[in-house]
Structure 1
């Protein structure tokens, strides 16, 4: 990781390999451009046919520019001045991050565009740089090592240096945790069965000081976790439940987190076609997001208690696999009729939700690549939120908006509950074709009791089919930042 620092020096006087300056749409000068007096940077930008729209950039080498200490200036389009925000900073630097990490020292004025939200913009800038330069090259025979040693954020004297430095550190912690979550999702399923995911969690917990318990297959059977066991019984690689505790809030009720951890989803006996399995290593994206969030929470040390219970099974077809029509008995005794073995994520989450509800939490949040129906409704960039507590749903959505991971609320439409009535069990795991995201959430609701709960369906944004502003093709790590922001926002607050 590069060193992160804050300076109030004049941008033109800061020694750097690259000085990154924003340009507003028009083009209009962004912070720092006027300070470079030896050249009309805005004219150079305009002459290149650029207008300052998001995604535009121009590298201006220092070929003797009077008064400029940097070796070059990187002008990046930010869009309209009125729409400048922390997320605009995250996206602007993320787009050019792969080029910036080839330099040793980078300085930027980007956070200045957000004015009153300077600390949030500083954090977002760090996140954009680190996440935008992320690459998963573990399986490449050769790879290029980033050269970046230092990022200098430049701001005015009136900014609180301690607040900005704290924001830079938060950005580094959150970005590192989200990058780790990406690594977990991008790792081929052959190398990350449930037991290995549990080992990764155990190592992380040891590193950051979390309490960790790994539930083995025998312990799951004794504890009545029939959903986790049922989904995993078709695989030779046994399931696990990862239990993590962060104690930062004294005797206060914890926030409870869980995420779908299907290590590989073949569909089971309701098998997917070949193309449908190509990216199914990503079906543990919810679990990875919870692990990443817990890692960041442990490092940032908010004054709140957090518990995570992360179920992990591999959904495979075999002679021992569950069959359509089988009935599973979940933690707490509720039964579900399995009519489609490819609707397995809700089966393992049901056990985890029931277990978490037993812990007396103030709220439960689950994340899952759960339904294609949510993706049909909201596309590839938005996650869906459904829950039994409007305030909790609103707060989680607000956290997502604040950190550039937007979601949208879908209705937990009560009349649809009858669609998952079973003739022989308490509930069945699929409804009709339409409204699948809603009936899946209604299934999960059966296991949380009266605890405030929100379900985050990340089927769309968890795994990108093409590169975006600050992620390459593959895992995005969404919604790590949302979860961390929500937990931090609850630190020191009273229970509901």
Structure 2
């Protein structure tokens, strides 16, 4: 589907449908008032009679409104000003998209006058509309014999003033890039474990490099990882017939000598728990345990589409965690790439094992910052539910940047403490550390484990266990945290360009 910016009198626009807003108590928005004038008071008559109230979420499709070239007018209730936070705005976009899709409309113009959100930010509102509209139109049919019917909605235009056109067009480009990254992440995460294997993830990375000249890919196989000494990552995949992979994607958008930023994704393509076997109920959802890897793939695609003037390394630690006669056992001790030893007390705490070697590997790039993204702990769901990503970091400035990015992108994170007192829970009598620290503070002790491999650089950990997918009737991957990561990188690029301008 195409998005575009349009200008001019709303009465002259040729389209299947114009979407306008009415505020609480029937107050017409500027565009609604313009239509009302052209229609001889038609909308005012509907608000006076109570047929249109402006209540949040209210919808009314009007046909053949006098004085317009548009065939239909979809009137949306905007509600009271204090109601229009991101949650309300997203529900509004969802409702609009759903109605347009069901109506079989081919083109629409969105004319909400910036009133649908409490944020007076044309760029943000425009970009979010594109992202959220695209998310609602997403369809998965890769493993279905009957493919989804094509969506009739082909073009959505946003009506802006001429003064806001350039800003709006930039928002469209960024919004489409982020939406494409989110869709790519959802596509790969929704695939079943018999298709999406570590080797398949490597193939997706190679395909990304084939599509974008700015991305180069290197795949390390098990023999190469063995030679390097990546004992923790290899231990996780030992019980699987699917070979593990370390996938490295390098995006070059700046001078080659400039230090990169690194994104490290957990790529457990299926997690049975290994010898510490998970319960059977809902185990099918463990195909989503590579949500961190999916978000890295999606973000790298977004990054390449936006042509940001940065260097970024995307690293995916890919393995399948299966029980077998040769699988790692509770009590086994492995030596990591860093040389530190780990006593594996629970084979279902495998994500931190593949990540610790990947984080050590990231050190060779002398990165400016490193962010790992992982569906790491069920404890994060208990702590934060399915709304916020858990954030822990060894650098408060980096944590603040990610929190701000998440807030702006409406892909929010919440910071948890990374105190030294929690480190004691990882003590082991037989190795440098254990891979679990007990039930209390499980998300924090998992991050404490990772922190022991990130002492040489600025690092943050994003636990997306609660937000990477939905269960129930809406079961499927969400594509988080692509928007947060994309915004973080956009902010870095803006800071860099601001610094260059200052010079």
Q: Which residue of 1 aligns with 2:434?
A: 428
Do the aligned partners of 2:46 and 2:52 also contact (CA within 8 Å) in 1? no
Q: Give yes or no for the alignment of 1:228 onto 2:227.
A: no
For residue 73 of structure 1, what is the aligned residue in structure 2? 73
Instruction: Say if 1:253 and 1:42 are closer, same or farther in 2 by CA, change over 3 A.
Output: farther
* 1:89 Cα deviation after fit: 4.2
The equivalent of 2:205 in structure 1 is: 201
Q: Distance in 2 between matches of 1:277 and 1:81?
A: 44
- Cα deviation, 1:360-383, whole Å, max 9, x if unaligned, reads 111111111111111101111111
- Secondary structure of the 1:271 match is coil
Alpha-carbon distance in 2 for matches of 1:180, 1:42: 45
CA contact (8 A) 2:16 2:107 kept: yes
> Which residue does the alignment assign to 2:106?
104
Alignment of 1:41-190 (within 5 A): 41=43, 44=46, 47-48=50-51, 51-53=54-56, 56-62=57-63, 64-82=64-82, 84=84, 88-101=88-101, 102-110=104-112, 112-113=114-115, 116-142=120-146, 143-159=148-164, 161-190=165-194
Q: What's the offset of the Cα at 1:67?
A: 1.1
Out of 298, 306, 309, which is 1:300 matched to?
306
Aligned residues: CA RMSD:
2.1
Q: In 2, Cα distance between the equivalents of 1:465 and 1:26?
A: 38
Closer/same/farther in 2, CA of residues 18 and 206 from structure 1, 3 Å limit: same
Are the equivalent residues in 1 in contact too, given 2:31–2:113 (CA < 8 A)?
A: no
Cα deviations across residues 30-64 of structure 1 (Å, max 9, x unaligned)?
Answer: 352112222544664784586532xx2424231x3
Among 358, 366, 372, the residue aligned to 2:378: 372
CA distance in 1, matches of 2:270, 2:348: 11
Change (3 A) 1:27 1:285: farther
Q: TM-score of the superposition, structure 2-length normalised?
A: 0.92
Q: Counterpart of 1:237?
A: 242
Which stretch shows the higher mean deviation, 200-209 or 83-92?
A: 83-92
Whole-angstrom distance in 2 between the partners of 1:96 and 1:316: 44
C-alpha contact 2:16 2:105 (8 A) present in aligned 1: yes
**Alpha-carbon deviation of 1:295?**
0.6
Q: Give how far 1:10 is off.
A: 2.1
Counterpart Cα distance in 1 of 2:314 and 2:44: 51
CA distance in 2, matches of 1:42, 1:185: 48
Q: How many Å separate the matches in 1 of 2:266 and 2:44?
A: 49
Match of residue 348 from structure 1: 354
TM-score (structure 1 length as normaliser): 0.93
How far 1:299 sits from its partner (Å)?
Answer: 1.4
